[in-house]
Structure 1
């Protein structure tokens, strides 16, 4: 069994251009150091719309990307995710098809945060419990039951102290990008929540930020 965080970023803030930044290699090293300290065996580096091609064995870096689609975000993790995607032009179904062609798993990311991906008829491999909304696990499990897919976990970390608060237990004999994909597809995964002292401050802050953003979007037509 291995502990793998399937959703994290290598820089504090999103790059609107969806392109690599000079901070990415430093962010990756900081995340790796935090993972070793917290007993996390693997990290999926899933920046928005671009892949960071870094290699690491302890913890294992699993290639990944968080794809922005017309309906919301989809995590693509595995041996060969795409290098770049382009904004919200893709349909979730096309992203899933491409992920499968590449030997990767396609995961519904934070389905209750400005997303209708869970309503799309596409063969997703899993749905995510997100570290910013761990209290929504019961709702995530209902989606998983309806679709007959497993639940995985990812912290959605942008800072090292956020890493691992929700992660995935992967039941496999060895840890490789391929074994992670196989475990997801076979249902040999489960989300695990790990509470740290920082969560007492972070989770209320996340709720306030996303609540304010949702209220603003409802107030602005279109």
Structure 2
């Protein structure tokens, strides 16, 4: 039955995946928030194949986001388990850009037949949020008609600044460079207004070998749909090219420390941003603030190291990090740590 809110309840599938993995408490969880199976055009990957690949890669969760359809939700219950959370969603392919709904109920389907001139986007975002879900601006600079996002970032809850579907050897290209730069330019103003859109990275996997490149690493109170979405919503997350890349980022002032997505109060004391990174041989680290790139440093040939940068809490309202390989492609992006004077 179709409702005026733009969501269609197809069925409450008995075989839908569980929304919580038992016994997995607070921690950092790796997941791919934009994944397609054979139910979407351009792919022949089955849920069974994708789940096996996710487990092999070491992912903790994946989000199934078929194009404009929820009929495949019922197929995922059989492949989820005590080592893999499956989040239900949909890629909404409007005429003037795509967005991803994360955290849908089984059988919920989001309307997609409109464009920016129809001025109805908010009508279709609202019920996703009312259901506890998140709305994601997908691949904003996709290089095909209808794929580039013509809606403003601040209409959404998250921005997919890194999308891997067009990759050849590495899931980083000029479209991702443009999306991450656009997101970064708007971050200071959003934080100042008190509403900002955290970044995520997703593979948008259609073909074998694409899953998890890139993916998002999120701090969640448990491995459940609600907790993962809460961590993403708060920006307690960072983006990784692969599971071989590991990092830890915090900002310290006196005896106080804050991690990604949280806030540290400087109280007039010197502030130190500290990054520990693994898996980026001969790469480089850059610290970004509201004034742009504030510090840059090379990583050793073995790819592991600690980089620190000292600054005043009065100089900026946030610090975030980018880590690149030696060829300039991206290895990791963090959401910001917020700083108060």
Q: Same fold (TM over 0.5)?
A: yes
Q: Is the 8 A contact 1:78 1:180 kept in 2?
A: no
Give 1:140's aligned residue: 179
Cα distance in 1 for residues equivalent to 2:178 and 2:99: 18
Change (3 A) 1:93 1:116: farther
The correspondence of residues 78-117 of structure 1 with structure 2, limited to 5 A, is 78-80=103-105, 83-89=108-114, 91-113=120-142, 114-117=146-149
Q: 1:76 aligns with which of 101, 107, 117?
A: 101
Which shows bigger deviation, 53-62 or 99-108? 53-62
Change (3 A) 1:119 1:5: same
Deviations 1:58-89 (A, max 9, x none): 32111111012232111001152763345423
More helix by share: 1
Q: Is the 8 A contact 1:127 1:150 kept in 2?
A: yes
More strand by share: 2
Cα distance in 2 for residues equivalent to 1:160 and 1:141: 26
Cα distance in 2 for residues equivalent to 1:110 and 1:82: 25
Cα distance in 1 for residues equivalent to 2:122 and 2:133: 14
Cα distance in 2 for residues equivalent to 1:125 and 1:85: 16
Give 1:153's aligned residue: 201
Question: Tell me, which stretches of 5 or more residues in structure 2 are unaligned?
Answer: 1-27, 167-171, 191-195, 245-341
Give 1:209's aligned residue: none
The CA deviation at 1:50 is: 1.0
Q: Is the 8 A contact 2:34 2:205 kept in 1?
A: yes
Q: 1:10 aligns with which of 24, 32, 37?
A: 37
Which shows bigger deviation, 51-60 or 34-43? 51-60
CA RMSD of aligned residues (A): 2.6
Cα distance in 2 for residues equivalent to 1:144 and 1:81: 31
Cα distance in 2 for residues equivalent to 1:194 and 1:121: 26
Confirm whether residue 164 of structure 1 aligns to residue 191 of structure 2.
Answer: no
The CA deviation at 1:122 is: 5.1
Cα distance in 2 for residues equivalent to 1:101 and 1:81: 15
Question: Tell me, which stretches of 5 or more residues in structure 1 are unaligned?
Answer: 16-22, 197-222
Q: Please give the TM-score of this superposition, normalised by the length of structure 1.
A: 0.74
Give 2:323's aligned residue: none
The CA deviation at 1:132 is: 2.6
Q: Is the 8 A contact 1:2 1:169 kept in 2?
A: yes
Cα distance in 1 for residues equivalent to 2:204 and 2:40: 12
Cα distance in 2 for residues equivalent to 1:41 and 1:164: 11
Number of residue-to-residue matches in the alignment: 187
Give 2:53's aligned residue: 34
Instruction: Tell me which structure has the larger Cα radius of gyration.
Output: 2
Cα distance in 2 for residues equivalent to 1:82 and 1:174: 24
Q: Please give the TM-score of this superposition, normalised by the length of structure 2.
A: 0.50
Q: Is the 8 A contact 1:170 1:180 kept in 2?
A: yes
The CA deviation at 1:5 is: 0.2
Deviations 1:16-38 (A, max 9, x none): xxxxxxx7xx7111000001111
Give 2:241's aligned residue: 193
